[in-house]
Amino acid sequence: MPWPTKNQFSRPTCAAFGVAAAREWLVMEQLSRSGQNPLQHPPLSEQYLFWAAKRREANPIQPGGTRLLTAAEAIEHHGICGDHLWPYAPTIPAGLEPYTGAGLPPPDPNPPPTDPMHRDASTRSLRMTYTRRPKAQQVCDALDAHGPLAISLPVEGGTRGRSNKELWFNSNTERSGILMESASTRWAPTPSAAGHVVCVIAVTPDKRARGGYFFLFKNSWDSGLWATQPPPLENGGPVCPGYGRVSWDFVDTHARSMAHWTQPLHDLLGPKP
């Protein structure tokens, strides 16, 4: 099923995009099981979720992104509204940079319960379980039991003490979306560098992957610049532009954190028809 990616542009909002994508998948799956077109669902507001996450921080006007844990707490306690109520702002308007980093003036800090944005968001609140340093098998098991999930991966790292981002940003990866660590070198993440949150949607066997499997993820970068021409899966299945793949071994060694729905899919959606 083609599910186009979204673009966070240059803003540090990947945690909101990863969690929102996992929530959108549930909406789409509910529509599909009821015989409706899942791609006709109203998109959800990463703008709202990022705002809600920033408000939970000790210093909400601190510039920069937010942690996956905070975004997971935000969707549990605040939910997420439809994008039509608060569309995503690709850039932060001049003069608003220090105001929660959300890109637009936030709503009243004590909104009435009739406020349409908060009322709509509250209908999609859902609890998430957060795990630090998950192993690949934990990610695989969570994916099977709870559906698409958000995971934080390191972007900056290198070999022999040199640090760069070329594992993600090189001509092959920018075309294919496949993170290919060299078998002859020992790649290590830069400990102090920020991670990047994506939404893992599937695990698929592939002889090219270290560990024998790739995790397929929905990214939030411009699909005209990253993963522009992803090759088919080993089983021949197509991959949409903007989707990435990361090996079992990379996740097993380097994944920083994971957040998945606490309830299993059969409780959230009922048995498959």
Condensed to tens digits (0 to 9), the pLDDT of residues 204-241 reads 999 989 899 999 999 999 999 999 999 999 988 999 99
pTM: 0.92
At 28-87, the pLDDT tens digits run 999 999 889 988 888 999 999 998 898 888 766 667 789 999 999 999 999 999 999 888
More confident residue, 235 or 19: 19
Q: Where in the chain are the domains?
A: 13-126, 129-262
At 91-138, the pLDDT tens digits run 765 555 444 444 445 555 555 555 889 999 999 999 999 999 999 999
Query: Domain 13-126 has what CATH class?
Result: alpha beta
pLDDT at 103: 45
250: helix, strand or coil = helix
Give Cα 222 to chain centroid, integer Å.
Answer: 14
Identify the bridge partners of residue 196 per DSSP, sorted by sequence position: 153
Q: What is the DSSP letter of 40?
A: G
Instruction: Of 126, 251, 117, give the one whose Cα is nearest residue 179.
Output: 251
pLDDT at 19: 98
- 83: phi > 0 → left, psi -120 to 50 → alpha, else beta; which? alpha
Q: Any residues with CB less than 8 A from the CB of 3 and at least 6 apart, and which?
A: 25, 28, 39, 218, 240
Instruction: Of 189, 139, 120, give the one whose Cα is nearest residue 22.
Output: 139
